[in-house]
Amino acid sequence: MLVAGHAAPTHADDGVVIDVNAQKKGSYPLALPAAPEGDQVAREIAQVSQFDMTVAGPFKVLDPASFLADLKKEGLEIEPQKWKDVGALGVVKYRVTATHIEFRLYEVSKGNTAVLTKMYPRSGTTTRAIVHRWANEVFKYYTGEPGFFGSKITFTAKGKKSSAIYAMDFDGNGAYAVSNNSSTNILPAFSPSGGQIAYTSFMRNNPDLYIGPAGGGRPKKISGHPGMNTGAAWSPDGTKIALTLSKDGSPDIYIINAGDGSVIKRLTNDKAIDTSPAWSPDGGSIAFVSDRNGGPQIFVTSAGGGAARQVSFNGTYNTTPTWSPKPGKKILAYTTRDGGHYDIVTLDLDTKAMTRITQNEGNNEEPAFSPNGRAIAFARAGQGVFIANADGTGKAVKVWSGSATGVDWGPAPKD
C-alpha cells in the first residue's frame, strides 16, 4: 500500500494502490488526454472522465494544456517519458468505434503496457453510463474500493408555493421529478436497493410518509398517523423504517414495518423533540437529533432500544446526522452551527476527531455520504446541491443549481 501521490510499489509486478486510510494526504497525478479524433462522443468521454476523476477524491487530474505527447501519433499507447515529464503517474487512453468504446489505463512507471483494459459495447446504453463504468474500474484498481460513479442523488427542490422530490445522476445529469403532486414534499430517502424513495408529503393536509418508485410514479402512503410522519431512514436490510411520529404527544423516534407501516417499536420516549433518525450501516445503532439537553444535538442509541448518549458537543446547534458506509468506521456527518453559518462536519465516534467539510461558503445542510463514503453531497442554501470530499480536502463542486434541501445519496450502481 502507498500513499496517494507516491508511486513506489512494494514489488515490481504489483499494481499501484492508493492507501485511502493513510494519515498523510496526497493526490495521485492522473492524465486524461482527449482522443485526437475530437468528435462529439470523444468530447463527452473527456468531459465525463474529467468530472468523475476530479470528484473521486484521491486523484489530481492534470491540465491537458501541459501535455507534451503527440496524441495522434501515440494512439492507444503512450510514450512513457513524455508523460513522466509532465508529472503523470497514470494515463488513461480511449478509442471510439461505431460499435464499441475501448479504454486503457497505464502506469507510467511500467512503460507502454496497459495495466487495465476494458471494451464496452455502445448499443443499449449511453456514453455517459459507459464512462461511469470505466471510472469505477479505475477507482477500484487504485484503491481496492468500489466507486460511486453512476449512482443517484435525491433531494427536495423548493418552489415558491410547493416543493417536489427530485432524483438525478450523482453528477447532476438527467434530473427528474419523483413526486407527482403540487403539494409540499420533503425529506426523501432511497431504499437500500435504490428502487424506492420514501418521502413525506402534505398532499392530504397532514405530513404523511409515502413510498414510491425511484423512477417516479404513484406512491403508497405507508404512515398516516395524526401529526408528524417525517424523516424516514431505512434499515440496512430494507425491511424497517425509522421515522419521527408525534401521534402520542411530543415527537419521538419510532420503527415501523417498511411493507405495511405497522409500528414495531417506540425507540424514544422523552418530553423533548426527537427527530432526524439515521440508521447505522451495521443496523445496530440509530443516530437522531434531540433538544433534551437544551439546543438540538446529535444522540446515538441502540436500534433495539435503550439509553441514548449525546455525541455532538461543538456549538449549540447540530442536526441531520448521517452515517458513513465505510466498513469498520463509526463516522457521522451532520449540519452544525458553531459560528455565523450552517456548515457540514464529520465526527469519528471512536477517535472523536472532527473534520470540517465546509466553511465560509454560505449555509450548508443535509449531508449524505456517497455509497463508498469517499464523498458527501449536501445542499447550499439558495445555490443548489454540491459534492465535496469526505476528508475535508479540495473544493466542493456544484452538481445542481436551484433551491434544494433534504439531500440523500442512493446505493452503488449495479454493473
Range(s) of the chain covered by CATH 3.40.50.10070: 28-143
Residue 19 — pLDDT band, cuts 50, 70, 90?
low
Q: How far apart are the first and last CA of the chain?
A: 27
- In this prediction, residue 414 carries a pLDDT of 80
Q: What is the mean pLDDT of residues 318-347?
A: 94
- In this prediction, residue 5 carries a pLDDT of 38
| Residue 4, pLDDT above cutoff 50 | no
Range(s) of the chain covered by CATH 2.120.10.30: 152-409
The residue assigned the cell 484498481 is 141
The lowest-confidence range among 13-27, 80-94, 323-337 is: 13-27
- In this prediction, residue 196 carries a pLDDT of 98
CB atoms within 10 A of CB 312: 23
- In this prediction, residue 290 carries a pLDDT of 97
Are the C-beta atoms of 197 and 212 separated by less than 8 Å? yes
CB atoms within 10 A of CB 184: 18
| pTM strictly above 0.85 | yes
- In this prediction, residue 360 carries a pLDDT of 87
Q: State the alpha helices, DSSP H only, in 155-268.
A: none
The residue assigned the cell 456548515 is 343
What is the residue-averaged pLDDT of the chain?
Answer: 92
CATH code of the domain made up of 28-143? 3.40.50.10070
Q: What is the mean pLDDT of residues 280-292?
A: 96
The lowest-confidence range among 21-30, 238-247, 307-316, 360-369 is: 21-30
Q: Which helix (H) or strand (E) holds 120?
A: strand 116-121
| Residue 14, pLDDT above cutoff 80 | no
Task: For 116-138, write each residue's pLDDT tens digit.
Answer: 999 999 999 999 999 999 999 99
Q: What percent of the chain has pLDDT over 70?
A: 93
| Residue 72, pLDDT above cutoff 80 | yes
Q: What is the mean pLDDT of residues 148-176?
A: 95
Burial 281-310 (b: 16+ CB within 10 A, else e): beeebbbbbbeeeeebbbbbbebeeeebee
Class of domain 152-409: mainly beta
Query: Hey, CA dihedral for 331, 374, 130, 144, is it positive or negative?
Result: negative
